[in-house]
Amino acid sequence: MNKIPRRVVTGIQNGKSTIVEDKEAENAVEHLPGLLISDIWNTQKAPASLDFEVPIPNTGFPQTPKNGTYFRYVVIPPDKDLGVEFKAGELHPMMHQTQTLDYIVILSGELHLIMEEGETLLKAGDIVIQRGTNHAWSNRSDQPCIQLAILMDGEV
């Protein structure tokens, strides 16, 4: 599987539905070795505009627009490839929190979702509803994990 996803965008031209873009996603950045984040699309408000997208710089940390959404494709390499060490009883070094409601789908591989209290192993097909909580991802396998995430601006 190609690490950078293909992005197909539809639209209306001359009053008819058509494909207006079909190419590799341009907003893909390798933030750490093997950690690829592709920002696929965002919306600036709700209801969403169907006419255009306002690209947002890919900084690694999501910049979900106020009242908007963010759609990401993420390849998470094994922890050992990132040089991440995690000891039980300590906070994971990649622990972070966003003020978003996130719908996350594991497409391939496996990944541990670590919370301040507890963790669970996620596998392909699993879905996470992440509600603005402090969390981290830990890939303890030998293969990359690919996830899709849709982040929506939230109220805490």
pLDDT in tens, the chain (156 residues): 458 899 999 999 999 999 999 999 988 888 888 899 998 999 998 888 888 788 877 777 777 888 899 999 999 999 999 888 877 777 887 888 888 999 999 999 999 999 999 999 999 999 999 999 999 999 999 999 999 999 999 887
Asked whether the beta carbons of 52 and 35 are under 8 A apart, the reply is no
Q: Quote the CA–CA distance of 110 and 113 in Å, as a whole number.
A: 10
Asked whether the beta carbons of 3 and 75 are under 8 A apart, the reply is yes
Q: Quote the CA–CA distance of 78 and 144 in Å, as a whole number.
A: 6
User: Of the candidates 61, 62, 65, which has an alpha carbon nearest to the alpha carbon of residue 53?
Assistant: 65
Q: What pLDDT was estimated at residue 57?
A: 78
Going along the chain from its start, the domains and CATH numbers come out as 27-153 (2.60.120.10)
For the chain, the maximum distance between any two Cα atoms, rounded to a whole number of angstroms, is 60
Q: What pLDDT was estimated at residue 1?
A: 44
Q: What pLDDT was estimated at residue 16?
A: 96
Alpha helices by DSSP H, listed for 5-152, are 79-82
CA distances to 86, 118, 130, 133, 140 from 38, rounded to whole Å, are 26, 28, 19, 22, 22
Q: What pLDDT was estimated at residue 3?
A: 81
Retrieve residue 154's tokens.
Answer: 């939230």
| pTM listed for this prediction | 0.87
